[in-house]
Amino acid sequence: MAVAMDLGDPSSPFGSIHPRDKQDVGLRLALAGRAIAYGDSEVYFTGPLATTATMSTDMQEVVVEYTSLAGSEVELRYSYGFELGCSDATWLDATATAADSNKVMVGVPACAAGAMPTALRYCWRSDPCSFKLCPVYSGDLPSPPFQMNLT
């Protein structure tokens, strides 16, 4: 797998899903091929992978933990892209507030009266980010979209 959601090309005559910049797509696929098909453990190819989303005890933020990092840190480039799911089946925009090593902290917006936060999702849209401008990266590779229940 190669994540290419940050390589969309909205002005392409063939539609955004068919970017004219094939070099970046090819490079990401080649990295994955080297790592998977040839077992090259020195190649970083995934982007950071979210493993848990944990609500803080004061219910003010969600801490998202990542594995598969290039080096030791996750990079937060922008604060958008996260959404908090509430028990009343609504999704609210949530803002990433900080990054620390392998974690991203996301602020918790208020659910409707009587509803509780239950899930978090990231870049869960048909056009999640502009060219090479997704919120979360490591080693210049974006984190793939995810949706997970809060713990």
In tens, the pLDDT along 60-96 reads 999 999 998 887 789 999 999 999 999 999 999 999 9
Residue 34 lies in a domain: no
Residue 26 lies in a domain: no
Whole-model pTM: value is: 0.91
Query: In the prediction, which pLDDT does 117 show?
Result: 97
- Helix (H) / strand (E) containing 49: strand 49-55
Residue 129 lies in a domain: yes
First-last CA distance in the chain:
27
- Looking at residue 139, which CATH number applies to its domain? 2.60.40
Query: In the prediction, which pLDDT does 145 show?
Result: 97
Residue 70 lies in a domain: yes
Residue 17 lies in a domain: no
Spatial distance between the Cα atoms of 50 and 95, rounded to a whole number of angstroms: 16
DSSP state of 114: T
Q: Number of structural domains, the chain?
A: 1
Residue 136 lies in a domain: yes
Q: Which residues of the chain have pLDDT under 70?
A: none
Can you tell me which residue has the tokens 């005890």?
A: 57
Range of the domain at 142: 47-149
Query: In the prediction, which pLDDT does 14 show?
Result: 84
